Amino acid sequence: MIRNYLPSFILLLVFLTGWEAMVRFTEISSLVVPPPSAVFSVLWDGFTTGFLWKHVWVTSATTVIGFLLGCVIGFVCGVILGEIEPLRRLFWPYILAMQVVPKLALAPIFIIWFGFGMKPTVIITALICFFPLLENTMVALDSVTSEKRQLFRMLGAGRWKTLIHLQIPSGLPVILAGVRVAIVLALVGAVVGEFVTGSEGLGASIIAAQGMMDSSLIFALLITITALGLLLYQLVLFFEYWLLSRRVKGKIH
């Protein structure tokens, strides 16, 4: 495992060394491209003084709350629209139109409606997560083989039982693929949402650092955001594995 990643790690060291050397021994201003050493020292200070922790917390909370809201509402709407044909026909053109609207372009109106701070960012994040869940849930519920549907009819299962005991568990891998897409989009939504609406959070800090021409801080924030994204993605993967593990390896221990 570690051995597999060793070449990648060496590549990183080479890259960082080259970058450091380039900044030190050429005319490039460290204001434009900061050396890695400066970035890491800003990062270190940020976490030891607690300055970064506050923003990490705000962005994490925004991402997770928006993600959960968007996923739950997207899933529920996916079930309702997937199961009730007339409703699907009624809403489909509008859903399609809403999906095409760049959600971040809605930020200004959300600021008017909900003020600055976390609330509009959470709503943008939730909206971004809503669509992959809606679409994947609808596809997933519809993808049950006709033999299994007939089996449930023969067993006297009504619509609700078929949904709970057949369609949702059978579509779970597809639904969870939507969740995986949503978590990545959620972080993008939260950070970019903070560009526009926030006074706190990693996105807002990037804008603040830009104002101060503090490129080291911008790089430090980017590294933090990447780490946060990887962490959240891994958590979702772990959750997915936990839910689906039984189908793969069974209960034999």
Partner 1 sequence: MPNENVFFAIDKASYAFEDGNRVLHDIEWEVPSGAFHCLVGRSGCGKTTLLKLAAGLLQPSSGRISIENQPVLKPSQKVGFVFQTPALLEWLSVLENALLPISLHRRVNEEDRDAARKLLDLVGIADLEARVPAQLSGGQQSRVALVRALVTSPPALVMDEPFAALDAITRDEIQDDLLRLVALNQTTVLFVTHDIMEAVYLGDRVAVVDQGKILSSASISTPRPRDPNCRYDADFAATCQKIRSMMSSNTASAA
Q: Applying CB under 8 A, does 160 fall inside the site for partner 1? A: no
In the complex with partner 1, the residue whose CB is nearer, 136 or 197, is: 136
Question: Are residues 12 and 18 in contact, defined by beta-carbon separation less than 8 angstroms?
Answer: no
Q: Applying CB under 8 A, does 2 fall inside the site for partner 1? A: no
C-alpha count within 13 angstroms, C-beta hemisphere, residue 124 = 34
In the complex with partner 1, the residue whose CB is nearer, 136 or 224, is: 136
Give the binding range for partner 1 (CB under 8 A) out of 16-24, 27-35, 150-158, 190-198: 150-158
Question: Are residues 171 and 138 in contact, defined by beta-carbon separation less than 8 angstroms?
Answer: no
Q: How far is CA 7 from the centre of its chain?
A: 29
Which residues, 6 or more positions from 220, have their beta carbon under 8 angstroms from its beta carbon? 39, 40, 42, 43, 46, 52
Map residue 155 onto helix, strand or coil.
Answer: coil
Q: Applying CB under 8 A, does 248 fall inside the site for partner 1? A: yes
Q: In the set 68, 111, 139, 172, which binds partner 1 (CB under 8 A)? A: 172
Give the binding range for partner 1 (CB under 8 A) out of 2-10, 123-131, 134-142, 161-169: 161-169
Q: What residue spans of 101-211 are helical by DSSP H?
A: 107-114, 118-142, 146-154, 159-162, 168-197, 202-211
Separation between Cα atoms, residue 93 and residue 81, nearest integer Å: 13
In the complex with partner 1, the residue whose CB is nearer, 24 or 148, is: 148
Q: In the set 157, 177, 181, 223, which binds partner 1 (CB under 8 A)? A: 157
Give the binding range for partner 1 (CB under 8 A) out of 17-25, 50-58, 101-109, 241-249: 241-249
- Contacting residues toward partner 1, per CB under 8 A: 145, 147-148, 150-157, 161, 165-166, 169-170, 172, 246-248, 250-252
